[in-house]
C-alpha cells in the first residue's frame, strides 16, 4: 500500500511538476553512453558524420557521483538512457546495481533502462544488471527478421530475440519487480504486423508500446 502511495505521488510530480514549487528533480537521466552499436534509420546515429554531439562513455566515478547526489535529493526516478546504448558502458551492471542499493521508499522508485539488446547472449553480467531495474524497455520493431534488420540498421534480429527470450525467463529477474516493455516504431515497413498480438503470444507478460512515425519522416526507404 505504501509503495502505491509513493508511486502515485511521484507520477503526480512528474506530470504536474511545472506547476509545483519543487525543491529537487523528480527524475534524472543518466547517459551512460552516447555511442550506439546500431544505425537505426530514424535516429541521429544513422549518420555518424553529422552527430550533433561528441560520442563517449560516462566514467564510473561520474555515474556514482550523480547517483549519490540524486539519492540525497530524494529523486524518484533514475533512467539510464538518452542518446546511446547504455549497456555498451563496461560498468553498466555495477552502476545500476549501486543505484538499486539506494532505492527505498520514494527514492529511485523507478529505475528504467532503454536498450536494443544487441549484446552477446552469454553476457550474464548485463542480464543481472537489467534485473536490478524496475522497467526495461527493448527496441524491437518487427517479428520478421528482414524487416527488423532493415528498419534497425546494424541490428541482428536473432541476437535481440534470443536475448529477450533469455531475459524474460532469467533467474535473476523477478517479474513483479522488473517489467519488460517491447518498444516498437511503426513505419511503412511493419505497418501490416500485429505487433501487440505477436508480443503477447511470445512474451505474454510483457508490455507493448508502439509509436507511429509521421508519414514522410525518417530515412527509411521501401
Q: What is the pLDDT of residues 146-183, one digit of tens each?
A: 999 999 999 999 999 999 999 999 999 999 999 999 99
Please tell me the CATH code under which domain 22-212 is placed. 3.20.20.70
State whether residue 60 is helix, strand or coil: helix
CB under 8 A, 24+ apart: contacts of 203-208: 203/164, 203/165, 203/168, 205/168, 205/175, 205/180, 206/168, 206/180, 206/181, 206/182, 207/179, 207/180, 207/181, 207/182, 208/181, 208/182, 208/184
Query: For residue range 176-210, what is the model confidence (pLDDT) as tens digits?
Result: 999 999 999 999 999 999 999 999 999 999 999 99
Q: What pLDDT is stored for residue 219 in this prediction?
A: 44
Report the 10 Å Cβ neighbour count for 79: 19
The three grid cell numbers given for residue 63, joined into one nine-digit string = 555515474
The C-alpha cell 516498437 sits at: 184
- Mean pLDDT over 109-134 rounds to 97
The three cell numbers of residue 116 are 536494443
* φ, ψ for residue 91, nearest 5 deg: -105, 15
* Spans of all domains in the chain: 22-212
Quote the distance between the C-alpha of residue 34 and its chain's center: 14
Amino acid at each position: 500500500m505504501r509503495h502505491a502511495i509513493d508511486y502515485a505521488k511521484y507520477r503526480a510530480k512528474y506530470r504536474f511538476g511545472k506547476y509545483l514549487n519543487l525543491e529537487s528533480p523528480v527524475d534524472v537521466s543518466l547517459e551512460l553512453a552516447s555511442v550506439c552499436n546500431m544505425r537505426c534509420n530514424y535516429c541521429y546515429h544513422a549518420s555518424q558524420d553529422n552527430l550533433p554531439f561528441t560520442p563517449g562513455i560516462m566514467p564510473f566515478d561520474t555515474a556514482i557521483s550523480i547517483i549519490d547526489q540524486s539519492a540525497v535529493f530524494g529523486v524518484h526516478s533514475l533512467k539510464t538512457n538518452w542518446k546511446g546504448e547504455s549497456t555498451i558502458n563496461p560498468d553498466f551492471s555495477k552502476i545500476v546495481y549501486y543505484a538499486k542499493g539506494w532505492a527505498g521508499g520514494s527514492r529511485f522508485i523507478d529505475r528504467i533502462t532503454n536498450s536494443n539488446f544487441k549484446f552477446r547472449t552469454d553476457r550474464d553480467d548485463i542480464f543481472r544488471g537489467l534485473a536490478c531495474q524496475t522497467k526495461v524497455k527493448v527496441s524491437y520493431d518487427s517479428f520478421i527478421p528482414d524487416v527488423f534488420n532493415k528498419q534497425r540498421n546494424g541490428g541482428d534480429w536473432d541476437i535481440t530475440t534470443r536475448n529477450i527470450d533469455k531475459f524474460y525467463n532469467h533467474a535473476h529477474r523477478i517479474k513483479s519487480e522488473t517489467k519488460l516493455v517491447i518498444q516498437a516504431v511503426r513505419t511503412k515497413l511493419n505497418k501490416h504486423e500485429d505487433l501487440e498480438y505477436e508480443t503477447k503470444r511470445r512474451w505474454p507478460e510483457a508490455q507493448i508500446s508502439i509509436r507511429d512515425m509521421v508519414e514522410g519522416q525518417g530515412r527509411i526507404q521501401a
